[in-house]
Structure 1
């Protein structure tokens, strides 16, 4: 990203309120609780291309800024108040994350890692479309959102950034002991393998994690 500072990308990746502005596929995105000064539990639900069922995920997310590197890592957990919903397929994030490296005062590089079990017996054409269209498109939208973020943030709590200032975090505290790893094998594997390939109505579909 030759025209966006690393700090701006980092802020956009954290800001769940702004996510609802730029991510047309988001159904719900919010933080649930904090487990440390630099770790939260969060919920994210997104729309999938028809005729697939929509997905959601509950993750434990940790972050760090050090030596010009901004890191966010998350993986799926079970939260007692967020069981799988009947209207959504609970996906499993095995390991997801972002590494934002500053390359200059107003430029950075972004590395995105996504090891996700979307659940469901998905046909190959779905996987191919995700690889070819949805992820690159999401990153393009993210870049555009980063360019527009400073102006948006000026009108929406310009100094409110709890991911940078832990004292601003008003989420309830949750003990790690109340969480458990979410294993893919522990969830019902909904069979979507019989879906017929729908005509591509454009590539404005898909979703990604918080």
Structure 2
């Protein structure tokens, strides 16, 4: 989704949100940028916790780990709430994480996958979705976050409804992520690396 066609839609509280028409789709993609007042280790601790989705991603009402794997490649199941009478959407994401040892930047790439969780009658399964996070440490206490996403929500749903949520989702989520990452147990997280500098685990600890 690297494109010169991004259009600035929102700029408030240090959060900038851009949108673009995604090729072959009625649903727009978005790119959100901000600097979070929390260290990278705390953000990664949130990302490592599959249940945290419900605490910071706007509209996420259920989330769980599907397969226990490494931090660098794992699967998670989530449900997104949509306004009545539209049925809620669920999806399974393959999550791949990479770290650049020279810059300490961390990227997370998430794609919807099939055949990991049986479809459920009460939800419409999303089969096409991609999300990309880029986390860039800014000193010891701040992290620049860039969030790109495009979703084909499947089923009968008007494009104007989905496109109307494009600003709310990243803006409210980023503000919630900053608050959550600065709370127990995430703020005291420790990151474990392998010899190549890849993140292999994130440990959290509640203050006594």
Is TM (by shorter chain) over 0.5? yes
Q: Are residues 1:116 and 2:151 paired?
A: yes
Q: Are residues 1:138 and 2:173 paired?
A: yes
Superposition pairs of residues 168-207 of structure 1, within 5 angstroms: none
Q: Residue 105 of structure 1: CA displacement?
A: 1.1
Query: Greater share of strand residues, 1 or 2?
Result: 2
Over the aligned positions, Cα root-mean-square deviation in angstroms equals 3.1
Distance (whole Å) between structure 1 residues aligned to residue 159 and residue 191 of structure 2: 43
Specify the SS of the correspondent of 2:84.
Answer: coil
**TM-score scaled by length of structure 2:** 0.65
Query: Greater share of helix residues, 1 or 2?
Result: 1
Structure-1 residue corresponding to 2:88:
54
Structure-2 residue corresponding to 1:77:
113
Residues 170-189 of structure 1: per-residue CA shift (max 9 Å, x gap): xxxxxxxxxxxxxxxxxxxx
Residues 35-73 of structure 1: per-residue CA shift (max 9 Å, x gap): 656211221112122222111101211112223111111
Q: Residue 21 of structure 1: CA displacement?
A: 4.0
Distance (whole Å) between structure 2 residues aligned to residue 26 and residue 124 of structure 1: 19
Q: Residue 108 of structure 1: CA displacement?
A: 1.3
Distance (whole Å) between structure 2 residues aligned to residue 26 and residue 127 of structure 1: 15
Specify the SS of the correspondent of 1:83.
Answer: coil
Specify the SS of the correspondent of 2:120.
Answer: coil
Structure 2 unaligned blocks of 5 or more:
1-34, 204-208
CA contact (8 A) 1:72 1:99 kept: yes
**TM-score scaled by length of structure 1:** 0.65
Structure-1 residue corresponding to 2:51:
17
Q: Which deviates the most, 118-127 or 70-79? A: 118-127
Distance (whole Å) between structure 2 residues aligned to residue 79 and residue 124 of structure 1: 26
CA contact (8 A) 1:74 1:93 kept: no
- What is the aligned residue count? 163
CA contact (8 A) 2:67 2:76 kept: yes
Q: Are residues 1:152 and 2:185 paired?
A: yes
Structure-2 residue corresponding to 1:4:
38
